Structure 1
Amino acid sequence: MNVAVIGLGLIGGSMALDLRHAGLATSLTGVDQNAENGEQAVALGLVDRVLPADVALRDADLVIVAIPVNALAKTLPAVLDLVKSEAVVLDAGSTKSSICRAVANHPKRAQFVAAHPIAGTENSGPTAAFRGLFQRKTNIICEQERSSEHALTVARRVFDALELNTIFMEPEEHDKHVAYVSHLSHVSSFLLGQTVLDIEKDEKNIFALAGSGFASTVRLAKSSPAMWAPIFEQNLDYLSQALQEYIMHLQRFHYHLLKRDTQELNRIMSGANEIRRVLDGIELKTQQQTQQQTQQQTPSSSTVKI
């Protein structure tokens, strides 16, 4: 399969590596506005070559669009214009409503699969890409009924090769959920990092006291602002709602702290401890799904186990 990857950063580069390793990509062509990124991607073996979009897409069987979400909605219609009639186009955007609206009336809409593989690190660029990024992670497909059976079959082969567990959602439902479990955590990490940096200006020894808890909490603050600012903007309504609820919880905690109400603080934290049960359950379910896939999957299988 001739694969074209638009956007040669962490997500696009890691997909390319896994698809090559799985044998799905017999040819990998990259497209990137940043010439340095393109050179690095070739040097690192992420892609075989880097070409202009019109040339790269002309003969592609599969096109993966892994660029910032504010550019996705503008770029996808042009990508669909360029691809051949049997080609399949996938995106990896972290928001889905605006992207799905952008191609809703495109004559080649059925060739497009709106996807969100939920995986990443705080690093960016071609050098951040690595094999196995998506292993045992969750992938979301939106508006599956708008994609052709051929497009979905190819998409399933890709997501199987990446070892993703796929579920299906409507775009609005997707955007609401990721506002809470992904976007809010990034905002929190960015602002916690900024708060500590402000204090550090006057208290030079504060980082000498920072332990693993602080490091893990602010890890996401090392993420690319160029990537995350557009995501926040694209999901403004749901993220704003999530932030309002988060601020309310912070204010409530602050109030009981000022009242020296240790009993109520303990109650709040005990309630939050319930997240352990939820996360442990998700981890167990993921392990079970992975075991089922290992037992049932054959080299020619293209079935996604949900």
Structure 2
Amino acid sequence: MKKAVIIGLGLIGGSMALELKKRLGYYIAGIDVSAANVQKALELGIIDEETDYNHLTDAEVVLIAVPVNHIVEVLLKVLDKAGDNTLVMDAGSVKGHICRSVAKHPRRELFVAAHPMAGTEHSGPEAALYDLFDGKVMALCEVDDSNWQLLDRAFSIVKALNMRVKMMTPTDHDLHTAYVSHLSHVSSFMLGKTVLEIEKDEAHIFDLASTGFASTVRLAKSDAQMWCPIFLENRDNVLKALNEYIKNLEAFRTLIENNDAEALTQNIHEANYIRKILK
């Protein structure tokens, strides 16, 4: 039976394990720094056994789904320990530092730099879901540096997950994810924080929150241990995105202060164009 090793048994790693078992018949071995996560993943049937870095040589696939600030350390260890025919993929949402760190590694060709553009606000093995990746994008970077046979295996996995492939440079990936993913999390975190600071009575938040508020602030429930490293690893791009966002917020505030209904309406109409992009 084909064997896959999942390192990091949270939402993404756990969901990938479920799908590799269901859709491709892989036997799943798991590694996690948390013994509790390993035990829960075993109980939930997400993995078939616990393993360690000394048992990677017979794996067809190793997926690294740890927080982004630990990926390089884990990736270097995996490349040193993996078999010659082992596909190594990561799931990090910041790619530049990762790709630079392994560029000169003698076994670089085993690695396919990947980012499944999917997720929820939940974390841990209990958050793992079937069908999480359906219809989503798998970003792949620097594919020319990967062994073509292993890259073909990666494509087969992506196809089985019903995902679309988007090939990008690490620079483009990190820039665009700062705007379409990382900034939305910053916005949600700070909206949640602002409301909590202003509304001291939690009952008011619960009673008056509309579906609009709930959907906008949903990401504020995301795990700090995951997102703090992402913001710092992609600091320059996140700061650029934040500067643009703050500029628009300040302009919008000025329009309200000036009671400028016409300009407010125009701003909202301009933002409505997003409907044509996100259908």
TM-score (normalised: structure 2): 0.97
* 2:17 counterpart of 1:7: no
| Cα shift readout 1:222-259 (whole Å, capped 9, x = no counterpart) | 00010000000100000000000000000000011100
Q: Aligned to 1:20, what secondary structure does the other structure show?
A: helix
In 2 relative to 1, CA 252–129 (structure 1 residues): closer, same or farther, beyond 3 Å? same
Answer whether contact 1:74 1:102 (CA < 8 A) is retained.
no
2:215 corresponding residue in structure 1: 216
2:32 corresponding residue in structure 1: 32
Q: Aligned to 1:205, what secondary structure does the other structure show?
A: helix
**Structure 2: how far apart are the matches of 1:277 and 1:204?**
37
Q: Moved runs in structure 1, 4+ residues, more than 6 A?
A: none
Same amino acid, percent of matched pairs: 49
**Structure 2: how far apart are the matches of 1:265 and 1:81?**
57
In 2 relative to 1, CA 146–203 (structure 1 residues): closer, same or farther, beyond 3 Å? closer
2:142 corresponding residue in structure 1: 143
| Cα shift readout 1:210-231 (whole Å, capped 9, x = no counterpart) | 1100000000000001000000
Answer whether contact 2:57 2:84 (CA < 8 A) is retained.
no
Q: How does 1:66-215 map to 2 (within 5 A)?
A: 66-201=65-200, 205-215=204-214
**Structure 2: how far apart are the matches of 1:212 and 1:13?**
29
Could you tell me how far 1:146 is from its partner in structure 2? 0.6
**Structure 2: how far apart are the matches of 1:83 and 1:278?**
41
What is the RMSD computed on CA atoms of the aligned residues?
A: 1.1
1:267 corresponding residue in structure 2: 266
Could you tell me how far 1:86 is from its partner in structure 2? 1.2
Answer whether contact 2:199 2:205 (CA < 8 A) is retained.
yes
**Structure 2: how far apart are the matches of 1:203 and 1:51?**
44
Q: Aligned to 1:255, what secondary structure does the other structure show?
A: helix
Kindly provide the amino acid, as one letter, of the partner of residue 278 in structure 1: I
Kindly provide the amino acid, as one letter, of the partner of residue 163 in structure 1: N
Q: Aligned to 2:4, what secondary structure does the other structure show?
A: strand
Q: Aligned to 1:197, what secondary structure does the other structure show?
A: helix
1:293 corresponding residue in structure 2: none
Answer whether contact 2:179 2:238 (CA < 8 A) is retained.
yes
1:292 corresponding residue in structure 2: none
1:50 corresponding residue in structure 2: 50
**Structure 1: how far apart are the matches of 2:128 and 2:182?**
21
Kindly provide the amino acid, as one letter, of the partner of residue 47 in structure 1: I
Q: Aligned to 1:131, what secondary structure does the other structure show?
A: coil
| Cα shift readout 1:93-116 (whole Å, capped 9, x = no counterpart) | 101000101111111101100000
| Cα shift readout 1:123-179 (whole Å, capped 9, x = no counterpart) | 000010011000000110000111111111110111112111111000000000000
Could you tell me how far 1:207 is from its partner in structure 2? 3.5
Q: How does 1:217-296 map to 2 (within 5 A)?
A: 217-280=216-279
Could you tell me how far 1:58 is from its partner in structure 2? 3.0
1:289 corresponding residue in structure 2: none
| Cα shift readout 1:235-289 (whole Å, capped 9, x = no counterpart) | 0000000000000000000011100011110010010000001112xxxxxxxxx
Kindly provide the amino acid, as one letter, of the partner of residue 41 in structure 2: A
**Structure 2: how far apart are the matches of 1:247 and 1:167?**
29
**Structure 1: how far apart are the matches of 2:240 and 2:162?**
33
- Say which is worse superposed, 119-128 or 202-211, in terms of deviation: 202-211
**Structure 1: how far apart are the matches of 2:57 and 2:264?**
61
Structure 1's unaligned 5+ residue stretches are 281-306
**Structure 1: how far apart are the matches of 2:128 and 2:208?**
32
Kindly provide the amino acid, as one letter, of the partner of residue 64 in structure 1: L
Kindly provide the amino acid, as one letter, of the partner of residue 18 in structure 2: L
**Structure 2: how far apart are the matches of 1:278 and 1:78?**
41
**Structure 2: how far apart are the matches of 1:22 and 1:192?**
39
Kindly provide the amino acid, as one letter, of the partner of residue 112 in structure 1: F
- Say which is worse superposed, 193-202 or 36-45, in terms of deviation: 193-202
Could you tell me how far 1:117 is from its partner in structure 2? 0.6
